[in-house]
Amino acid sequence: MIRVLVATDKPFAPIAVDGIRKIVEGAGYELVLLEKYTSQSDFVRAVANVEAVIIRSDKADREVIEAGKNLKIIVRAGAGYDNIDLAAATAHNVVAMNTPGQNSNAVAELAIGMMIYMARNLYNGSSGTELKGKKIGIHAFGNVGFLVGKLAKGFGMEVYAYDPFIPAAEIEKQGVKAVNSADELYSTCQYISLHIPANEKTKKSINFELLSKMPKGATLVNTARKEVIDEEGLMKIFKERSDFKYLSDIEPDCKNDLVAGFSGRFFFTPKKMGAQTAEANINAGIAAAKQIVEFFEKGVTTYKVN
């Protein structure tokens, strides 16, 4: 019998677990739950006897993959999959997948919500500004970026986007102006919303040089990954430009420096919250379970990332 481990340090909502159970048991497989585990070794032990694993932000590192002697597939319920050691997975013939698009709306709403919060001076009682009429640059026009663009248009913003992997014509079809470089995007837009993945090319790529091109009243919104920010550059721009603001779904490593010197110009969520909605939780978990069943039953590998 195929056993599917759900290894979630931060568990899915009970309703999502029920949905996953229905799909897994409906296919005749067994569901194994490992929730709120206290050490990585619990995960390593639990993976020893299973064929499939569903994770959230949990680390499927080399040790986990090597311990999974029967393991065939790991699905990250969510978009980013930098918590899976892809090289180790490939070396052990384990298919790694994500569930793109399932939590995009939740993340997009958070990005817009944080923008309004900052535009209204963190609701401190003083007069703020509106999003309407401002230019927003979407840095990477994937699932989340596309939705941020759509919502921003609803607020009357002028939407620009840069994504070298999507033809300009496709971006423009959405009523969004496609630009040819990150430099052009940052020089044009007062708001930048980041949606690039964290990889060798993008890590620390949002640096002082790029940020300093942004027009007066600049606000950077990061619901992607903290690793894409060059935090030294970020601190430099905070010191040089009193108009610069930063919003982040991820607590930055430079948190203490921001708290100490730049109150009112930044906000970050206490923990990663972009995908933390009931809807996203359910969608991503259920998509992961369906992908596992389709993989074993029909060999479908649509969202394979390794």
Ligand X SMILES: NC(=O)c1ccc[n+]([C@@H]2O[C@H](COP(=O)([O-])OP(=O)(O)OC[C@H]3O[C@@H](n4cnc5c(N)ncnc54)[C@H](O)[C@@H]3O)[C@@H](O)[C@H]2O)c1
Instruction: Detail the DSSP E strand segments found in the chain.
Output: 3-8, 30-35, 52-55, 73-76, 95-98, 135-139, 158-162, 177-178, 191-194, 219-222, 245-248, 266-268
Contacts of 293 (CB under 8 A, 6+ apart): 23, 24, 27, 29
Contacts of 164 (CB under 8 A, 6+ apart): none
196 binds ligand X (CB under 6 A): yes
Residue type, 226: K
Nearer to ligand X, 68 or 142 (CB): 142
Residue type, 117: Y
197 binds ligand X (CB under 6 A): yes
166 binds ligand X (CB under 6 A): yes
Nearer to ligand X, 202 or 212 (CB): 202
Contacts of 39 (CB under 8 A, 6+ apart): none
Among 202, 207, 212, 277, binds ligand X (CB under 6 A): 202
Residue 63 belongs to what H/E stretch? helix 62-67
CB 296 within 8 A of CB 115: no
305 binds ligand X (CB under 6 A): no
140 binds ligand X (CB under 6 A): yes
Shortest distance in whole angstroms from residue 73 CB to ligand X? 19
Region 3-32 residues binding ligand X, contact defined as CB under 6 A? none
Region 60-99 residues binding ligand X, contact defined as CB under 6 A? 78-80
Identify which range of 23-31, 86-94, 136-144, 169-177 contacts ligand X by CB under 6 A: 136-144
Nearer to ligand X, 197 or 233 (CB): 197
Q: List residues near ligand X by CB under 6 A.
A: 78-80, 100, 103-104, 107, 140-145, 163-166, 195-198, 201-202, 223-225, 249, 272, 274-275
